[in-house]
Amino acid sequence: MPVESRFVSVGEKAPGFSLPSIKGEDFNITQLQGDKVVVLVFLRGFL
């Protein structure tokens, strides 16, 4: 599966994507669009 990669600058609108939540439910970033300020942090490993 090809993966699109690009940088997002501070203040730029995040591209749409979805990931499984900690509860196993799908979460789509567009659910928060225009509603809240969101800070995304992606860690390399998880304990």
Instruction: Please give the chain's pLDDT, 47 residues, in tens.
Output: 566 667 778 878 778 888 888 888 998 888 887 767 777 777 777 65
Please choose, from the candidates 15, 16, 41, 13, the residue with its C-alpha nearest in 3D space to the C-alpha of residue 26: 16
**Cα dist from 32 to 18, 28, 44, 47, whole Å:** 12, 8, 24, 27
Quick: pLDDT tens for 13-26.
778 888 888 888 99
